[in-house]
Amino acid sequence: MMETKEIVSYVAATLTTVSFLPQAILTIKTKDTDGLSLGMYSLFALGVLFWLIYGIQILDEAIIVANAITLLLAIIILSYKIYNSFFKK
């Protein structure tokens, strides 16, 4: 049986990972990135990349999967922000 603290960590990881899905969907649908911070998504995507590297180093499947998904979602959101900030006429 799983320990309480193990369940808590799984709930936490699921929530923080899944949370970026509604944000990615909203950004794709509205393309409105005015209220999104470029600094946030740059630092956050880089941080999640480091979490992914850490997961690979300690061979922890949950950390790898959660951060691979979060990184993908963060990169999608960041791409819209970069496009709107620098390339939109």
Q: Which is nearer to a copy of itself, 13 or 82 (CB)?
A: 13
**Site map (CB under 8 A) of a copy of itself, residues 38-57, x = contact:** xxxxxxx-xxx-xx-xx--x
Q: Does 32 bind a copy of itself (CB under 8 A)?
A: yes
The footprint of a copy of itself on this chain (CB under 8 A) covers a number of residues equal to 43
Q: Does 83 bind a copy of itself (CB under 8 A)?
A: no
* 51 closest CA partner among 31, 33, 32, 65: 65
CA quadruple 14, 17, 18, 24: dihedral, nearest 10? 180
